[in-house]
Chain A
């Protein structure tokens, strides 16, 4: 039987690892639209982490801003400039 605290810390570690991988992919990806999607994945992992750290007020502002509004702003800017990052 796993203790609830160990389980929460384990899930936190997995979410942290997921956010790290998503951040690496967002940095190295040359297609900026894909990079925004990776960034949103990282934000989703953070939203779950805030929830597990018992900060529901932060979750409620993090979900619409980091998953909805911020990718939308960046996508608008990509549309107005260039989609692919140069060498």
Chain B
């Protein structure tokens, strides 16, 4: 890269940031950011997210972000999840017919024994942190997607340190991950209809994606079980979403780890070409 190109890149970056800062200072983006009307909205959520004095309008979960994601704005999240999983389905469709060649690997495959031992310990720690983020998502910052993304780092590290053949041998296969991902998505879908199904049995009105009882729909998930805050559908959504996200990311990495020659064999010609 020529010296003048570097200068152009550096100057344009500095000018962009300086102009943005200047615009903000002179008030072109509004003097008070966020605007006061947004603060009223935040106040509504903070007042209703966990309010046992007003249970008919409360989500009964102390974590306002998770409550907004899965309760107040549940339908938005459902479609965001659909976008993510359509992308994964597209990558699976792109790599159809491509499979990992059969190869026996001995204990010498992958990196050195020191790296492997450390990795065995850290994988357990990563999964513990992921479980804590996902299953406490209705109480502390975090949730299904965050927990699932953290859990997906564990098979990724195993992939790099132990080799993809070891992972395949250990049972982390493409079809199993596809099955786990589908089970997670099915769980998310069923949880959305859980209260509705209960209302059909008991004969009262209810809505899709309902969590707590509402004024016109007096049925809902339990919010406190045995003295512990349960979060109703939030906990179930978080568990299934974490499962689906972790399996989905692992699936993509398993596909990416297939040697390029195998993929080219299928995509460029030969008897399995399409």
* Chain A residues within 8 Å of B, Cβ to Cβ: 16, 20, 23-24, 27-28, 30, 56-57, 59-61, 63-65, 68-69, 72-73, 76-77, 80
* Contact of B65 (CB < 8 Å), options: A27, A57, A64, A76: A57
A28 with B141: CB separation less than 8 A: no
From residue B171, how far is it (CB to closest CB) to chain A in Å?
21
Interface string of B10-47 (1 = CB under 8 A from A): 10011001000000000000000000000000000000
Q: CA of A15 to CA of B153 in the docked complex: distance in angstroms? A: 25
Q: Residue of B at shortest CB range from A81? A: B260
Chain A residues near B257 (CB-CB < 8 A): 76
A-B contact pairs, 14 of them (CB 8 A): A30-B1, A56-B142, A57-B65, A57-B141, A57-B143, A64-B152, A65-B149, A68-B156, A69-B149, A69-B152, A69-B153, A69-B156, A76-B253, A77-B256
Report, as a range, how many residues of chain B touch the other chain: 20 to 34
Q: Does B191 belong to the interface (CB within 8 Å)?
A: no
Q: CA of A59 to CA of B146 in the docked complex: distance in angstroms? A: 9
Q: CA of A68 to CA of B250 in the docked complex: distance in angstroms? A: 13
Q: Does B9 belong to the interface (CB within 8 Å)?
A: yes
- A23, A59, A80: which has the most chain B beta carbons within 10 Å? A80
B13 with A56: CB separation less than 8 A: no
Given contacts A57-B141, A76-B257, 19 further A-B contacts (CB under 8 A): A16-B17, A20-B13, A20-B14, A20-B17, A23-B13, A24-B13, A27-B9, A28-B9, A30-B1, A56-B142, A61-B145, A63-B150, A64-B149, A64-B150, A64-B153, A72-B160, A73-B252, A73-B256, A76-B256
Q: Which of B156-172 contact A (CB under 8 A)?
A: 156, 160
Chain A residues near B6 (CB-CB < 8 A): 28
Chain B residues near A28 (CB-CB < 8 A): 1, 6, 9
Q: Residue of B at shortest CB range from A73? A: B256
Q: Does B240 belong to the interface (CB within 8 Å)?
A: no
Q: CA of A76 to CA of B14 in the docked complex: distance in angstroms? A: 32
Q: Does B133 belong to the interface (CB within 8 Å)?
A: yes
B142 with A57: CB separation less than 8 A: yes
* Chain B residues within 8 Å of A, Cβ to Cβ: 1, 6, 9-10, 13-14, 17, 65-66, 133, 141-143, 145-146, 149-150, 152-153, 156, 160, 249, 252-253, 256-257, 260
A24 with B10: CB separation less than 8 A: yes
From residue A56, how far is it (CB to closest CB) to chain B in Å?
4
From residue B97, how far is it (CB to closest CB) to chain A in Å?
18
From residue B114, how far is it (CB to closest CB) to chain A in Å?
21
Chain A residues near B10 (CB-CB < 8 A): 24
- A59, A60, A73, A76: which has the most chain B beta carbons within 10 Å? A60
From residue B102, how far is it (CB to closest CB) to chain A in Å?
21
A72 with B253: CB separation less than 8 A: yes
Q: CA of A28 to CA of B141 in the docked complex: distance in angstroms? A: 37
Chain B residues near A24 (CB-CB < 8 A): 9-10, 13
Q: CA of A76 to CA of B133 in the docked complex: distance in angstroms? A: 27
Q: CA of A36 to CA of B106 in the docked complex: distance in angstroms? A: 32
Please list the 6 inter-chain residue pairs (A to B) with the smallest Cβ-Cβ separation, ordered nearest first. Answer: A56-B141, A60-B146, A76-B256, A64-B149, A68-B153, A64-B150
Q: CA of A77 to CA of B255 in the docked complex: distance in angstroms? A: 12
Chain A residues near B66 (CB-CB < 8 A): 57
Q: Residue of A at shortest CB range from B145? A: A61
From residue B144, how far is it (CB to closest CB) to chain A in Å?
10
